[in-house]
Structure 1
Amino acid sequence: MRESAAERHDRLLGLVRERGSARVSDLASLLGVSPVTARRDVEELAGRGLLDRVHGSVSWPRDAAAPAAPAAGPGGSGLVIGMLAPSSTYYFAEVIRGAHEAAARAGARLILRISDYRPQEDQDRTEKLLAAGAEGLLVAPGWQHPGDPAAFGDWIASLPVPTVLLERTPAVGSPLDGLDRVCSDHAHGVLLALRHLVGLGHGAPLLMARADSPTAVAVRSGYTEALDVLGLRAPREAIDSVPAELAPDAFEEAVQALHAAVRGGIATAALIHNDVDAIQVVQRLAELGVRVPDDLALIAYDDEVAALADTPLTAVAPPKREVGQHATELLVERLGRRTAGPRRHLTLLPQLRVRESCGAPHAPTGER
Structure 2
Amino acid sequence: MRESAAERHDRLLALVRESGAARVAELADRLGVSPVTARRDVEALASKGLLDRVHGQVSWPERNASPGGAGARRPGEGLILGLLAPSATYYFAEVIRGAHEAAAKAGARLILRISDYRPEEDRVRAEGLLAAGAEGVLVAPGWRGPEDRSAYGNWLAELPVPAVLLERRADPGSPLDALDRVVSDHGHGVLLALRHLLGLGHGTPLLVARGDSPTALAVRAGYTEALATLGLTAPGPVIDSVPADQDPAGFERAVRALYEAVSSGRLSAALVHNDVDAIEIVQRLAELGVKVPEDLALIAYDDEVAALADTPLTAVAPPKRQVGRHATELLVERLTERRGAPESPAEEPARRHLSLLPRLRVRSSCGAAPEVHTS
Coarse TM-score class (shorter-chain normalised): 0.7 to 0.9
1:350 to 355, 358, 364: 358
Structure 2 counterparts to residues 36-115 of structure 1, below 5 A? 66=50, 71-73=62-64, 74-76=72-74, 77-115=77-115
For structure 2, list consecutive stretches of 5 or more residues without a partner in the other structure.
14-42, 53-59, 65-71, 342-346
Go from structure 1 to structure 2 and tell me whether the alpha carbon gap of 1:65 and 1:214 turns closer, same or farther (over 3 Å shift): farther
Name the residue aligned to 1:363: 371
- 1:246-284 CA distance string (max 9 Å, x none): 111100111011101100112100000000000000000
Residues 1:187 and 2:193 are matched in the alignment: no
Q: Give me the identity figure in percent.
A: 67
1:146 deviates by 1.8
- 1:129-175 CA distance string (max 9 Å, x none): 01111000000000001211111000000100000000001111111
1:11 to 4, 16, 24: 4
Name the residue aligned to 2:39: none
Structure 2 counterparts to residues 15-34 of structure 1, below 5 A? none
For structure 1, list consecutive stretches of 5 or more residues without a partner in the other structure.
21-57
- Distance in 2, matches of 1:61 and 1:145, equals 42
Structure 2 counterparts to residues 62-211 of structure 1, below 5 A? 66=50, 71-73=62-64, 74-76=72-74, 77-211=77-211
- Distance in 2, matches of 1:60 and 1:282, equals 46
Go from structure 1 to structure 2 and tell me whether the alpha carbon gap of 1:126 and 1:19 turns closer, same or farther (over 3 Å shift): closer
- Distance in 2, matches of 1:115 and 1:86, equals 5
1:19 deviates by 8.6
Higher Cα radius of gyration: 2
Q: Is the 2:10–2:132 Cα contact (8 Å) retained in structure 1?
A: no
1:59 deviates by 6.4
- Distance in 1, matches of 2:61 and 2:244, equals 45
- Distance in 2, matches of 1:144 and 1:305, equals 22
Go from structure 1 to structure 2 and tell me whether the alpha carbon gap of 1:144 and 1:230 turns closer, same or farther (over 3 Å shift): same
2:124 aligned partner, one-letter code = D
Name the residue aligned to 2:328: 328
Q: Is the 2:84–2:126 Cα contact (8 Å) retained in structure 1?
A: yes
How many residues end up aligned between the 2 structures?
Answer: 321
2:359 aligned partner, one-letter code = Q
- Distance in 2, matches of 1:294 and 1:264, equals 15
Other structure's SS at 1:113 match: strand
RMSD: 2.3
Go from structure 1 to structure 2 and tell me whether the alpha carbon gap of 1:135 and 1:284 turns closer, same or farther (over 3 Å shift): same
Residues 1:341 and 2:334 are matched in the alignment: no
Go from structure 1 to structure 2 and tell me whether the alpha carbon gap of 1:231 and 1:82 turns closer, same or farther (over 3 Å shift): same
- 1:27-65 CA distance string (max 9 Å, x none): xxxxxxxxxxxxxxxxxxxxxxxxxxxxxxx96798x76
